[in-house]
Amino acid sequence: MTTNLVPAGDPVPFDVTAPIPGGTVILEASAGTGKTYAIAALAVRLVATGEARLDQLMLITFGRAATSELRDRVRASLRNVHDALAGSQPATEHAELVSHLHRQGIAGQARRRLRGALSAFDTATIDTTHGMVSRMLSTLGWAAGRDPGLTADNDDSAMIAQITADLYLARYANAATQPPLSLQEAKDLVSRVIRSPGTAPAAGPSALTGSPYLPAVPARGPATGDVQIERAWFAGRAAVVRSIRARLAGTFGFDDLLTDLAAALTDPATGRVARTRMREHVKFVLVDEFQDTDPMQWRILKAAFHGSLTLILVGDPKQSIYRFRGGDVHTYLAAADSAGTRWILDTNYRSDPAITEAVNEILADIALGDPRILVRPINCHHDRPRLAAAEPPVQLRYLIGDPETGPPTAAQARKAIRHDLVEVVGGRLDGGHTWTEKTGHARKLQPGDIAVLVRTNRQGEDIRDALLESGIPAVFSGTGSVFTTDGAAHWLTLLRALERPADTTRVRAVAAGVFREWTGDDLACATEDQIEELRERIREWARLLQAHGVAAVAEDVMASGHVMPRVLSHPHGERLMTDLTHIAELLHTTRQREHLGISALAGWLAEHIDDQHGSDQQDGRSRRLESDAAAVQVLTVHRSKGLEFPFVCLPSAWDRYEDSRFVSFPLAHSQDGQRIVHVGGRSDPTFAAALTAHLEEERAEDLRLLYVALTRSSGGMAVWWANSKANTTASALHRALFGTRDLANTVPDRVTIPAPQQIRARFAELASPERTCVEIQAVSASRGSRRVASSGGQRSGGQQAAAGGRPAPAIEHARFTRALDRAWRRTSYTALTAAAHHGTAGTRSADAHDAALTQGTDEPDELGTADEIDTAAAQGGQPRDAGSLPAAAAPSAHLPGGDVPGDQQAWSTPSPMGELAAGPLFGTVVHTVLETLDTTAADLDAELHAHCDRVIDGRFTGSGIDAHHLAQALGPVLRTPLGPLTTWRLADITPTHRLSELSFEYPLAGGDAAPATAGRTLAQIADLLADHLPPEDPLAGYPDALRDPRLPVDPLRGYLTGSIDVVLRLPARALADAGPDPAGAPGQPRYIVVDYKTNWLGQWAGQPLVAAHYRQEAMAASMQAAHYPLQALLYSVALHRFLRWRQPGYDPHVHLGGVAYLYVRGMVGPQAPTQPLTGWPLPARSGVFAWRPPAEAVVALSRLLAQEAPT
């Protein structure tokens, strides 16, 4: 199968013996049609016929590995044709060329020419693009205007950080207002501009229409408050400053080579001389992998050679999949339009007929991003299958899900497909499958013959792990950087300790890391002598590094700590060992090259770990394969390009979630064809249009990725499809299978999932015998699969014949007779109350509970349920959109709880968060800031602003939450007294008096040993609470709510897990005004369970949010509607069990101080409205809901959950 670039007039099939026209020629390939073979054949033909000497050819390809392969192929082809002409051996390759030379009567001349070429092969110009450009610049000399003393430096991370810091300081050092850009935002912008050569930064009204792409902003002048102008200023200055800095430093990068040569060739004064000099010794230029070129490379080739000599551009636009690193299929198409001749490679030498037919069936007549890029049938060299198997060579395996529960989530589908894939791979390796080599020898299929192609590193690692767990050898080769690995983190820990051996914390970190692997018990029981011994060893390593480099340190560390045998004994130890060695080599090379000390080397490594935008294609960054052993090859589609395997699995072609929230710099093309990167940010009025164009180009490349994945197989293939809730409709496979082509042969961006019967009908159509050789199999979520249809002559049911011709014995299903304890589970507050939160009446079963518990993952179609629900919705009102902002309007006459307000101060005090967005993401950001803020800072406001910047830039980039506005809103929260608990504020509580994110997991009814009849129910908890709460308690009515029929009725048996936002330890001085000390316990601290809530308690009629919405009555109603009292009780039990172990002389009556639910939107500052509360000496503040369940109730509940006898 192939694709043709369809011009006005069909391309001519490639014939190595045909006349070669002058000018520019496009040689269009398809997967498996032998591009490298064709280029080598052309080179041999040109030399053999005397049309050019070998040194008059320029062969250019992409990457060092491809260059090495091309050199070897050209040399071998020269030798093969020479020997065939000499009669010493038959022509095993290029037989047609040999025959042509004999027919032309020039065989003797050709042989002499080829012998001369082999003798002078080192004069051949076969190089990478950057090697070719460097060679050209050297040839041009003064005409290029380039300093010959420059040195190469392709690691730009340090320079980007320095440029950003300098520009930021120069721009904002004297600014009177808060900079509109954070330092991290500026660094991201500068990095993107510098690392996008040939791509114009664009912003503002003209971003998509043409030059100028950026608004004109003076290089010098004061900063403005306009974020668009500031972003344009940074974008305009970044590349200019980088170029100046590089020249001052005497360095250059690969991209500088391209820029300098393009400038030299197009310079009005020197360009003609430069172009003439480049053509002096060249007659033919052949460029491989041209579909991956970028605009700058084509600009060079066009200026130097187009229209002046024969320029042959070889490529396959269907395989243009490197857009993310500069590859531009639009450039290929523009070059193709300017070509005078088009050839096509029309025979597939890689795949068996079934593969080519199946790929054509799936992608037939679909435009892969442009109407000119189509998949069309071509000739197949192999006329019979080489993979001998009981199954048809191509399987499409589909997962629909359970009719009762509906479509699976992405995580459920992935899990089921992983299980099925393991069975498929295991079946191919069972000894009954053979592969026939080129020699005709048939051999057993080996693990290394099988490839599993995935979209992401995470998917690849999961599948590799599943294969390894099943005893199938597997290795994963992804596209990630080695700096993102655990190996890099371990080396940074060691370097930090070498930097400061006196720091015991750093020494202990090394002890706990991979280089020593002390256990928690080892660390806890370590004597001073043991710590000092390790400290002295670290000092020795520091001296060794200074004297002999990182390699010497690595050798001693590995040997003295027996690192290799320990690491290799762990699961994935081979992977970790490879990464550790790789990082050590990079550190050693960097130190030797840049003469770095320990601190500078640690800083270099930390910077590369933090650099999330660094290309993994830079020298040395890409992770290495952990093993050369025969193993199933799990690799990303990008990694697989150019490779082929007898059998290929595609488990994730159905799986694509299009999430534009994290696209900060859309990459697209303007109306005049210029490739642009939009730097204006989301508030730019043209951002939406740029984002749309970016997504359209991504979807087009996704179709090309599917083509690449489908064409890696030479003999057999298994492709999986699933109808997940959110990840299927935008996937290329689904669009290809179910999308309707329009007149331009394009398929929709998203295709609705058809009904099950339509799905089966479409698959049955694919498997019809007259159309293709595809077998369809349904995959069950419970791991099994069954054959639905097959056009390969295989029976879909019944007994198969055994090897000796006898019927195989009937296979029976294994029967599972043991009763399962379906009530035993690992549960949480969120899982227990999920049904009530979502209003699902009657959701009481264990299955429903388990489904709720699986939520909270990071999968796009299964966002975790937030426990901060809209109270109005829970009480029957209309919920507000999670991302909307409240509109200003007159206050309602009623509180959320239904009370008439009597406190005018409360109604006139606005919430500091009234204009901020709502939703789970906002709540997570607020939690993160409050739980990690250092309240001991001398300038708390400055620290709060800086911390909000760090949190949002570090973990929530693209969230749309403004760090400055968030910090302004959290200032009053920190300064609101925590009445009625204490007069102290959050700002007064230092990190030593708070424990953030106390995670717990405690057994219910005995945990693992729980008998099947054990366990307590929520109804029993309600009874216990009703027995202990006095009538005046603000939550006295909650036991009735806890009997909600929507809540689970099964016994609680197994484990309860959770994480308390914060536990506060209030010292005696903080409790001075909060009432007398408990009898007999003066000066003892109290521990408070704190939970931060960002719930919106206002009305939905456009009413502004004010403090009155967070009076005690409103918060009590919110607490009960969301079942927060249950959460408070379960968390209090966790704290009770924790303090039993950690607090000397623990007494629950003394040390349990209750719970505080801090509704931060109602915490308006020091003057927060107050309300007197019965039983509390201090008044309550708006937004602070305090509850002190009786200590007896907490102890009784702990015993109830543990199923202990009451005391």
Longest dimension (CA), the chain: 116
What local confidence, expressed as pLDDT, does residue 242 receive?
86
The b-or-e profile of 960-989 (16+ CB within 10 A means b, else e) is: ebebeebbbbbbbbbbbbbbbbbebbbbeb
Task: Give 418's contacts (C-beta < 8 A, 6+ positions apart).
Answer: 462, 463, 466, 651
Task: Read off φ and ψ for residue 392, nearest 5 degrees.
Answer: -60, 155
Burial of 322 (0-12, 13-18, 19+ CB in 10 A): buried
Tokens of 1118: 């919110």
CB-CB contact of 676 with 697 (8 Å): no
CB-CB contact of 947 with 933 (8 Å): yes
How far is Cα of residue 519 from the mean position of the Cα atoms in its chain?
Answer: 31
Pick the last residue of a domain from 319, 345, 371. Answer: 345
Tell me, yes or no, whether 1093 and 955 share the same domain.
Answer: yes
What local confidence, expressed as pLDDT, does residue 802 receive?
36
**pLDDT exceeds 90 at position 925:** yes
Alpha carbon of 850 to those of 574, 857, 1017, 1030: distances in Å?
Answer: 35, 13, 16, 35
- Looking at the chain, the whole-number percentage of residues with pLDDT higher than 90 is 43
Tell me, yes or no, whether 439 and 584 share the same domain.
Answer: no
Question: Average pLDDT for residues 52-61, to the nearest whole number?
Answer: 94
Tell me, yes or no, whether 282 and 176 share the same domain.
Answer: no
**pLDDT exceeds 90 at position 133:** no
* Residue-number span of the structural domain to which 229 is assigned: 171-250
Task: Give 1102's contacts (C-beta < 8 A, 6+ positions apart).
Answer: 886, 887, 888, 889
Bridge partners, residue 200, by sequence: 676
Using DSSP's 3-state secondary structure scheme, residue 512 falls into helix
Task: Give 525's contacts (C-beta < 8 A, 6+ positions apart).
Answer: none
Which of 46-60, 216-230, 457-471, 1108-1122 is predicted with the least confidence, judged by mean pLDDT?
Answer: 216-230
**E strands of 943-993, at which residues?**
none
What local confidence, expressed as pLDDT, does residue 807 receive?
45
Choice between 880 and 1021, residue whose per-residue pLDDT is larger:
1021
Using DSSP's 3-state secondary structure scheme, residue 1036 falls into coil
Choice between 802 and 228, residue whose per-residue pLDDT is larger:
228
Angstrom distance (rounded) from CA 150 to CA 423 = 56
Strands 310-315 and 284-287: parallel
Q: Kindly compute the dihedral angle of the four CA atoms of residues 1132, 1133, 1135, 1136, in this order, to the nearest 10 degrees.
A: 120
Tell me, yes or no, whether 136 and 35 share the same domain.
Answer: yes
**pLDDT exceeds 70 at position 3:** no
Tell me, yes or no, whether 127 and 94 share the same domain.
Answer: yes
**pLDDT exceeds 80 at position 615:** no
What local confidence, expressed as pLDDT, does residue 497 receive?
92
Burial of 296 (0-12, 13-18, 19+ CB in 10 A): buried
Angstrom distance (rounded) from CA 347 to CA 852 = 53
112: in domain: yes
What local confidence, expressed as pLDDT, does residue 507 receive?
92
1204: in domain: no
Mean pLDDT for the chain overall? 83
What local confidence, expressed as pLDDT, does residue 493 receive?
92
Angstrom distance (rounded) from CA 258 to CA 722 = 45
Which of 82-86, 141-145, 520-524, 910-914 is predicted with the least confidence, judged by mean pLDDT?
Answer: 141-145
pLDDT of 676-700, one tens digit each? 889 888 888 889 999 999 999 999 9
23: left (phi over 0), alpha (psi -120 to 50) or beta: left
1015: in domain: no
Question: Average pLDDT for residues 1097-1106, to the nearest whole number?
Answer: 77
Choice between 557 and 197, residue whose per-residue pLDDT is larger:
557
Angstrom distance (rounded) from CA 482 to CA 963 = 31
Helix spans in 767-892 (H): 829-837, 846-853, 871-874
Tell me, yes or no, whether 312 and 409 share the same domain.
Answer: no
Tell me, yes or no, whether 571 and 425 share the same domain.
Answer: no
The dihedral through the CA atoms of 736, 738, 739, 745 has a sign that is: positive
Top-confidence range, 452-456, 475-479, 1083-1087: 452-456
Angstrom distance (rounded) from CA 877 to CA 1103 = 14
Question: Average pLDDT for residues 1090-1107, to the nearest whole number?
Answer: 84
Alpha carbon of 596 to those of 116, 588, 670: distances in Å?
Answer: 49, 10, 44
Helix spans in 625-739 (H): 637-640, 687-710, 732-738
Question: Average pLDDT for residues 503-520, to the nearest whole number?
Answer: 89
Task: Give 23's contacts (C-beta < 8 A, 6+ positions apart).
Answer: 306, 307, 310, 311, 339, 340, 341
Tell me, yes or no, whether 63 and 206 share the same domain.
Answer: no
Tell me, yes or no, whether 272 and 198 share the same domain.
Answer: no
Tell me, yes or no, whether 1064 and 1176 share the same domain.
Answer: yes
Choice between 803 and 819, residue whose per-residue pLDDT is larger:
819
Using DSSP's 3-state secondary structure scheme, residue 787 falls into strand
Helix spans in 195-294 (H): 227-249, 254-266, 271-279
Length of the chain: 1207
pLDDT of 992-1034, one tens digit each? 999 999 999 998 888 877 676 667 889 999 999 999 999 989 9
What local confidence, expressed as pLDDT, does residue 788 receive?
44
Angstrom distance (rounded) from CA 1193 to CA 705 = 61
15: in domain: no
1021: in domain: no
Task: Give 1079's contacts (C-beta < 8 A, 6+ positions apart).
Answer: none
Half-sphere exposure of 631 (CA within 13 A, CB side): 19
Quote the radius of gyration of the chain (alpha carbons, Å). Answer: 35
**pLDDT exceeds 60 at position 46:** yes
Residue 866: band (very low, low, confident or very high) from pLDDT cuts 50, 70, 90: very low
Angstrom distance (rounded) from CA 465 to CA 454 = 14
Helix (H) or strand (E) holding 155: none
Residue 81: band (very low, low, confident or very high) from pLDDT cuts 50, 70, 90: very high
What local confidence, expressed as pLDDT, does residue 871 receive?
44
691: in domain: no
Neighbours of 437 (CB within 10 A): 10
Which of 318-327, 532-541, 843-852 is predicted with the least confidence, judged by mean pLDDT?
Answer: 843-852
Residue 282: band (very low, low, confident or very high) from pLDDT cuts 50, 70, 90: very high
What local confidence, expressed as pLDDT, does residue 444 receive?
92
CB-CB contact of 700 with 320 (8 Å): no
Structural domains in the chain (count): 5
Angstrom distance (rounded) from CA 998 to CA 615 = 37
Helix (H) or strand (E) holding 286: strand 284-287
**What's the pTM?**
0.61
Task: Give 188's contacts (C-beta < 8 A, 6+ positions apart).
Answer: 613, 664, 665, 957
Angstrom distance (rounded) from CA 243 to CA 256 = 8
Alpha carbon of 825 to those of 832, 1003, 1019, 1021: distances in Å?
Answer: 11, 10, 18, 18
CB-CB contact of 154 with 630 (8 Å): no
Tell me, yes or no, whether 335 and 453 share the same domain.
Answer: no
**Of 619, 850, 1091, 1147, catalytic:** 1091
1091 an active-site residue?
yes
Helix (H) or strand (E) holding 619: none
pLDDT of 595-609, one tens digit each? 888 888 888 898 888
Q: Which of 1151, 1112, 1149, 1154 is nearest to 1131 (CA)?
A: 1154
Choice between 781 and 428, residue whose per-residue pLDDT is larger:
428
735: in domain: yes
Pick the last residue of a domain from 542, 577, 611. Answer: 611
CATH of residue 1123: 3.90.320.10
Q: Which of 408, 405, 404, 426 is nearest to 416 (CA)?
A: 408
Q: Which of 350, 282, 284, 283 is nearest to 316 (CA)?
A: 350
Q: Which of 1047, 1191, 1085, 1186 is nearest to 1133 (CA)?
A: 1191
Choice between 257 and 26, residue whose per-residue pLDDT is larger:
26
- DSSP type of residue 143: G
CATH of residue 304: 3.40.50.300
Alpha carbon of 226 to those of 212, 223, 335: distances in Å?
Answer: 19, 9, 40
SS3 content of the chain, % helix, strand, coil (to 5): 45, 15, 40
Tell me, yes or no, whether 1070 and 1153 share the same domain.
Answer: yes
Choice between 1132 and 809, residue whose per-residue pLDDT is larger:
1132
Structure-token match 């689904």, residue found: 734
Residue 248: band (very low, low, confident or very high) from pLDDT cuts 50, 70, 90: confident
How far is Cα of residue 960 from the mean position of the Cα atoms in its chain?
Answer: 19
- DSSP type of residue 1052: B
Tokens of 33: 């049609």
What local confidence, expressed as pLDDT, does residue 897 receive?
40
pLDDT of 374-426, one tens digit each? 988 889 999 889 998 878 899 999 998 777 778 899 999 999 999 999 999 99
pLDDT of 106-123, one tens digit each? 999 999 999 999 999 988
- DSSP type of residue 456: S
Residue 770: band (very low, low, confident or very high) from pLDDT cuts 50, 70, 90: low
Helix (H) or strand (E) holding 944: helix 940-955
Pick the last residue of a domain from 189, 217, 250. Answer: 250
Angstrom distance (rounded) from CA 1056 to CA 508 = 32
Per DSSP, the residues of 240-251 read HHHHHHHHHHTE
- DSSP type of residue 572: T
Angstrom distance (rounded) from CA 203 to CA 220 = 19
1023: in domain: no
Top-confidence range, 236-245, 618-627, 922-931: 922-931
